[in-house]
Amino acid sequence: MSPLIAGLLGAFAGAAVWAALALAVPAKPDLATALDDLTGPAPGTEPGPAALTGRLIAVLGRLGLVRERIRADLDALDQAPAAYLGRLARLVALSAALPITLGLVLAAAGTAVDPMVIATAAVAFAALTWAVVEADLHTRAGRARAEAARALAVVLSLTAMALSGGAGIDSALRSAAGAGHGVPFERIRAVLDKAALLTRTPWETLGELGERLGVGAYTQLAATTALAGTEGARIRTSLTDRATAMRGQRLADIEADALAATERMSLPIVAMATAFVVIVGYPALERIMTGL
């Protein structure tokens, strides 16, 4: 047996022993995990992983798979870490099993395949699947944050209009939040209800929502209104200015996305033009070269 294979077998054996010990003696959950269990989705609201037990998911979490950025993205999507870890483990295991299964089929058919090639392919497939799952999570979280920012801009615009008509802050906010549909507006209505129950200002709870989702527009709104106060013309002016700024930012983002789409659309045209020049010019160039 070569030293490399012996080393790999020893590493896998050590990892298996460590995982068995971690499952047998689970560590105490930290404060963040305990708070997630209390404030996260109720049991049964999300389908749990079928192939993993709760202790195994805890072990995967203690390995550092749920980093701060991953946890922030999961919070933005209102997704439990256990569901994410279960999906990640299933996809990675399936990807790693594909080359192993192919190698077994080829071996059964009488074709010799180097075990190191199969192991390398399994590791490469697993790593690629891991990266794709994380990239998909980041993409979906980015879209959720953009939708949350747009919802806040709509709520502030409607609130500013209601305040101009003589409505109060609380009634204007609630009517503006009730005008929209979808998860972002439901979150805003939930934090407004939380502020009313805890006798706090809605700006504080909106700021906390922004910190949890990772959306700077909410925290900036909380900071701006903290300086402006809670009533009077100053808060109306502050909300109007903030709504105008968010609308301008949204228009700038739309223009940037349109320019990026235009540039992406020009790439196929350039490729077609290049191919046309090559197809038309190559015969003439070939005749010139052969004629010389």
Structure tokens at 185: 């507006």
The confidence score (pLDDT) of residue 41 equals: 46
Residues 74 and 82: their CA atoms lie apart, in Å, by 10
Residue 44, SS3?
Answer: coil
The confidence score (pLDDT) of residue 212 equals: 84
Arithmetic mean of pLDDT, 98-127 = 82
Q: What is the pLDDT of residues 228-261, one digit of tens each?
A: 555 556 777 777 777 778 778 778 878 888 888 8
**2: DSSP letter:** -
**62: DSSP letter:** I
**43: DSSP letter:** T
Q: What is the pLDDT of residues 55-86, one digit of tens each?
A: 555 565 566 666 778 888 888 888 887 788 87
The confidence score (pLDDT) of residue 95 equals: 87
The confidence score (pLDDT) of residue 160 equals: 78
pLDDT confidence bin for 42, thresholds 50/70/90: very low
Q: With a cut of 80, say whether residue 144 has pLDDT above it.
A: yes
Arithmetic mean of pLDDT, 166-184 = 80
Q: What is the pLDDT of residues 266-277, one digit of tens each?
A: 888 888 888 888
Task: Please tell me the least confidently modeled range out of 15-19, 115-119, 206-210, 269-273.
Answer: 15-19
The confidence score (pLDDT) of residue 128 equals: 92
The confidence score (pLDDT) of residue 286 equals: 79
The confidence score (pLDDT) of residue 45 equals: 43
Q: What is the DSSP string of 3-31?
A: HHHHHHHHHHHHHHHHHHHHHHSPPPP-H
More confident: 199 or 43: 199
The confidence score (pLDDT) of residue 44 equals: 41
The confidence score (pLDDT) of residue 221 equals: 79
Could you give the C-alpha distances from 35 to 29, 41, 50, in angstroms and in order?
10, 11, 24
CB 159 within 8 A of CB 173: yes
The confidence score (pLDDT) of residue 51 equals: 42
pLDDT confidence bin for 46, thresholds 50/70/90: very low
Q: Which pTM does this prediction carry?
A: 0.63
> Which contacts of 145-148 are long-range, i.e. CB under 8 A and separated by 24 or more positions?
145/76, 145/213, 145/214, 145/215, 146/253, 147/182, 147/183, 147/184, 148/76, 148/184, 148/187, 148/213, 148/215, 148/217, 148/218
More confident: 147 or 2: 147
| Average pLDDT value over all residues in the chain | 75
Residues 177 and 175: their CA atoms lie apart, in Å, by 6
More confident: 175 or 232: 175
Q: With a cut of 80, say whether residue 9 has pLDDT above it.
A: no
pLDDT confidence bin for 52, thresholds 50/70/90: very low
